[in-house]
Copies of this chain bind each other. A is one copy, B any other.
Amino acid sequence: MRTIEGISSIGANFRGIDSVVESGGLFGIWNHPLANKITYFGLHALQHRGQTSAGIVTKDENTFTSFRGRGLISHIFDTEDKLEKLVGNSAIGQVRSATVSDQADDSNIQPLLFHFNNQSIAITHNGNLTEALSLRQQLEDEGAVFSTNSAAEILIHLIRRSKKNNFTDAFQSSIEQLNGGFNFCLLTDDALYGAVDKHGFRPLVIGQFSNGAYILASETCVLSSVGAKYVTEVQAGQYVVINDEGYHITNYTNSQKATLEPMEFIYFSRPDSDISGINVHTARKEMGRRLAKERPTHGADLVIGVPNSSLSSASGYAEEHSLPYEIGLIKHQYIGRTFIQPNQELREQGVRYKLSVVESLIRNKSIVLVDDSIVRGTTVRHLVELLKGAGAKEVHLRIASPPIRFPNYYGINTTHTEELIAANYTIKELNELFGSDSLGYLSVKGLVDSINFDKNIPDQGVSLDAYTGQYPSDIGDYQNEFQESLTPLQKKIIKGEFSDE
């Protein structure tokens, strides 16, 4: 990095349990003469997965070059010359949404780049290791010096301390020790590596260019954006090694159990991506249709979706009931990274800046408002108020996924029970809190059937912990926190004593 300017304020207690939670989008490419630019456009197509920082490392023979920064990829690489300095035929890159605890610390911006007397390694990852804290403490007790706050660095220490004779063996024996949800992407002098956790919580796909070069990416939408063809997925419990001889996938564990994170379908992925052959837009539209069947609305005049992630399910809902689907909420296109937000005084004045209502559509109408999911409930409460303020006669909230009632420990930032409104209230109570005229969620079965994965495996291969509190794997260092923060409602759900589906 050429310029470091900034404030890093980190106390001795900085490694709070959530600090290593990562989300984001990964990209890797091996042996393509346009590696830097394809990585740039690949990350651009993954930008929806993270907007707070990004970076690219390229490899030219055994010389590695890194460029990282805060903000959008188009902001970080604002001139072509920055991209052109990233020389080499192979690269990895990442876009990321920083968690609160590491926002102040640029050393965590990925990819990380390490140099040793016998090799260099660039690494990036998303997800969360459930034993990050205890693993790190154990390593430090053995003399390890960490320079970042990242799970990726834990993997590097494990690899370097491995007694295995070659890098691939050291890599495999190291990821075997990791639990939680993760995708790793590594670039060494000799190969590009990609690894997926034992549950395959989020996708990692392999693509190929007409010139034979391979890429790794978090979503298939990248493939069409950069002109590559789909090859296959790296599945739960697998890693891939890509080098000049092609790609080679290895099962590194026998305990793999595919449980995809459903938010990939509900919210994270771009509508034009496919996951295990299922198109995201199509699945969302189906969620809308099933929601319409499960939770119909009588006497509604029109259906509105919350832009942009709920537009597919809203049109599915409208179509199922032959209701007009309208563009009733306008999302402002020009909200910059450092946008000045209206203060209390201005908000009281009536100043709005993110969403506008098409008042003439709404006035005196009974509205079905479809949203994809509810975490904190702040936005949805604001939207109901906005629509009612614009003259809506009735607002019927329909949520195209089940209530999120339990925290996630595999890499999604819904770690804390207190931030999950549905962990504390029943649907009936939520309807009152939101001020809506009715509130309906999609059922867990409805969600699973809308995605329609392999019916022969448990839960059709979807992780339902957020709705049921049944975690597909040990939650490691989080066990105490989980137990201590359980709400009465959560306790009842776990015991099977409550359901408001």
Residues of B with C-beta under 8 A to A360: 274, 279, 281-282
Q: In the assembly, what is the distance between CA of A315 and CA of B318, in Å?
A: 12
Q: Which residues of A in the span 1-34 have a Cβ within 8 Å of any Cβ on B?
A: 1-15, 34
Q: Is the CB of B4 within 8 A of A336?
A: no
Q: Which of B9, B118, B157 contacts A65 (CB 8 A)?
A: B9
- Whether the Cβ atoms of B7 and A66 lie closer than 8 Å is yes
A475 beta carbon closer than 8 Å to chain B: no
Q: Name A57's closest neighbour in chain B (CB-CB).
A: B8
Per the bound structure, the CA–CA distance linking A19 and B63 in Å amounts to: 16
Residues from 22 to 73 in A contacting B, C-beta threshold 8 Å: 34, 37-38, 40-41, 44-45, 47-48, 51, 61-70, 72-73
Contacts of A72 in B (CB 8 A): 334, 336
Q: Are A340 and B271 in contact (CB under 8 A)?
A: no
- Does A255 reach chain B (CB closer than 8 Å)? no
Q: How far is the CB of A227 from chain B (nearest CB, A)?
A: 2
Report A's interface with B, CB cutoff 8 A: 1-15, 34, 37-38, 40-41, 44-45, 47-48, 51, 61-70, 72-80, 82-83, 85-87, 104-107, 109, 113-120, 136-137, 140-141, 143-149, 153, 156-157, 160-161, 189, 209, 221, 224-228, 270-272, 274, 279, 281-282, 308, 311-312, 315, 319, 324-327, 330, 332-336, 338-340, 342, 345-346, 349-353, 356-361
Q: Nearest chain-B residue to A103 (Cβ)? A: B2
Contact B75 A336 (CB under 8 A): yes
Hey, which chain B residues are within 8 Å of A312, CB to CB? 327
Asked whether B3 lies within 8 Å of A74 as measured between CB atoms, the reply is no
Closest CB-CB distance, A90 to chain B, in whole Å? Answer: 14
Given contacts A106-B1, A115-B146, A145-B144, contact A281 B349 (CB under 8 A): no
B113 to A140, Cβ gap below 8 A? no
Q: Max chain B CB contacts within 10 Å: which of A66, A70, A80, A85?
A: A66
A115/B12 in contact, CB under 8 A: yes
Given contacts A145-B156, A209-B349, contact A330 B271 (CB under 8 A): yes
Which residue of the partner chain, among B6, B311, B352, contacts A2 with CB atoms under 8 Å? B6
Interface centre among A9, A69, A149 (most CB of B within 10 A): A9
Task: For the complex formed, measure the closest distance between the CB of A375 and the CB atoms of chain B, giving whole angstroms.
Answer: 20
Question: Are B148 and A160 within 8 A (Cβ)?
Answer: no
Of B12, B65, B114, B209, the contact of A63 (CB 8 Å cutoff): B12
Minimal beta-carbon separation of A146 from chain B (angstroms): 7
Report the bound CA distance from A5 to B77 in whole Å.
Answer: 9
Partner of A271, one of B161, B227, B334, B358: B358
Shortest distance between the CB of A492 and any CB in chain B (Å): 37
Q: Which B residues lie within 8 Å of A271 (CB)?
A: 327, 330, 358
Instruction: Decide if B5 touches A351 in the complex (CB within 8 Å).
Output: no
- Quick one: closest B residue to A80, CB to CB? B340
Q: How far is the CB of A71 from chain B (nearest CB, A)?
A: 9
6 A-B contacts (beta carbon < 8 Å): A1-B105, A3-B6, A3-B69, A47-B334, A145-B153, A227-B352
**Is B9 a contact of A74 with CB atoms below 8 Å?**
no
Known: A5-B76, A12-B115, A160-B140. A356 touches B221 (CB 8 A): yes
Interfacial chain B residues near A319, Cβ < 8 Å: 324
Question: Out of B41, B44, B80, B145, which one reaches A114, CB within 8 Å?
Answer: B145
Q: Is the CB of A143 within 8 A of B144?
A: yes
CA distance A399 to B399 in the complex (A): 35
Q: Is the CB of B146 within 8 A of A14?
A: no
A226 to B356, CA, bound (A): 11
Taking a contact as CB atoms under 8 Å apart, the answer to whether B281 and A327 are in contact is yes
With A5-B3, A37-B346, A117-B140 as known contacts, state yes or no: A74 contacts B336, CB within 8 Å. yes
- When the two chains form their complex, are residues A70 and B324 in contact, meaning their CB atoms are under 8 A apart? no
Q: Are the C-beta atoms of B115 and A14 separated by less than 8 Å?
A: yes
Contact A340 B12 (CB under 8 A): no
Question: Other CB < 8 Å A-B pairs besides A8-B66, A10-B64, A51-B334, 4 of them?
Answer: A1-B4, A1-B6, A3-B5, A34-B349
* A325 partner, pick from B80, B143, B325, B352, beta carbons under 8 A: B325
Asked if residues B7 and A4 are in contact (CB atoms below 8 Å), the reply is no
A334, B44: Cβ atoms under 8 Å?
yes
A340 neighbours in B (Cβ, 8 Å): 40, 74, 77-80, 83
Cβ distance A8 to chain B, nearest Cβ, rounded Å: 5
Shortest distance between the CB of A221 and any CB in chain B (Å): 6
